[in-house]
Amino acid sequence: MAKSDELVKYLTERVVSYMETPREVRRQVRAQRKEGREPWQIRWFGMLPLAIRLWKDRWFSGKS
């Protein structure tokens, strides 16, 4: 029972702190977080898309 009480307490603290912050601050934080992320191709596949793009560019440009 203690763990469920702690979980409820934690969730209520998070909800209250979220509700108390102004909307503009929340939007700024969300925008900064989104700005700091790398593109989805890199997050999902690592350096593979870059390697394929470089290989394709060399292949179609006719250089060896």
* pTM of the predicted protein model: 0.49
Could you list the beta-strand ranges (E) of the chain. Answer: none
pLDDT digits (tens, 9 = 90+) for 13-59: 999 999 999 999 999 999 999 888 888 877 888 888 888 888 988 88
Within a 10 A sphere around the Cβ of 4, how many other Cβ atoms?
8
- Rounded Cα gap, residues 30 and 55, in angstroms: 36
The structure tokens listed for 40 are 């989805």
Residues counted in the chain: 64
